[in-house]
Chains A and B, each alone.
Chain A
């Protein structure tokens, strides 16, 4: 069966510090991978998605970047965090198919990031 791991579970970082959140998927090959953010009291905002190694698409201009160095590894980074980067970050995977919306997505447990 497939599993998705995210770490750390919680993180408190000062403004201006760097960020690295990691997500790994087990039990599947060549998945589509996604990073979402859920700000307090709001819905799910898609930040990045990837359909293959080294292939990253950004949905919104922001202070963050993503990388996919391996097939089942997805990393969310920032060089300098802003207060507005605080939120609940979710990694997700789906089967690859005819389109990004062809299959349901499965989410990791999330990382609560607080920028102080």
Chain B
């Protein structure tokens, strides 16, 4: 049972435009959501997170939106840059329980010149 789903395995976006990566989850008890970025042959790097008490969190070019009723979150990258080409993992957890962070399978983002 996949609790965190990233339904798009890949996405191509023109440089300078907005990249939108989507993530859906099934467990309504998740209250903490994270995005990670991963380059080939490297470990994932933590990008941005959001608590369920918020619906938006912004950090520079990166903004994460949370829609609890739809059990959906998205990562917006504006403007997209060549260095943003990577695999992006969505993750979720329940912070008040001894449960692990659950990762999605990732979306590969290609920024086109």
Contacts and interface: CB of A to CB of B under 8 A. Distances in A.
A101 B43 contact: no
A46 B89 CA distance: 14
A97 B101 CA distance: 13
Interface stretch (A11-19, A64-72, A106-114): A106-114
A101 B106 contact: no
A104 B64 CA distance: 15
Contact of B44 (A6, A101, A107, A112): A107
Contacts of A44: 44, 89, 103
For this complex, into which size category does the number of interface residues on chain B fall? 20 to 34
A51 to B, nearest CB: 9
A90 B100 contact: no
Nearest to B105: A43
A100 B99 contact: yes
A102 B42 contact: no
Nearest to B45: A107
Interface of B: 32, 34, 36, 41-46, 49, 89, 92-106
Contacts of B92: 101
A88 B11 CA distance: 23
Contacts of B104: 43
A102 B32 contact: yes
Q: Which of B32, B46, B100 has the most CB of A within 10 A?
A: B100
24 contacts: A43-B103, A43-B104, A46-B100, A59-B100, A90-B43, A92-B43, A98-B96, A99-B94, A99-B96, A99-B99, A100-B99, A101-B32, A101-B94, A101-B99, A101-B101, A104-B46, A104-B49, A104-B101, A105-B46, A105-B101, A106-B46, A107-B36, A107-B43, A110-B42
B34 A104 contact: yes
A46 B102 CA distance: 9
Contacts of B46: 104-106
Given A102-B95, A106-B46, A112 B100 contact: no
Contact of A101 (B36, B41, B100): B100
Given A44-B103, A46-B100, A109 B32 contact: no
Contacts of B98: 99-100
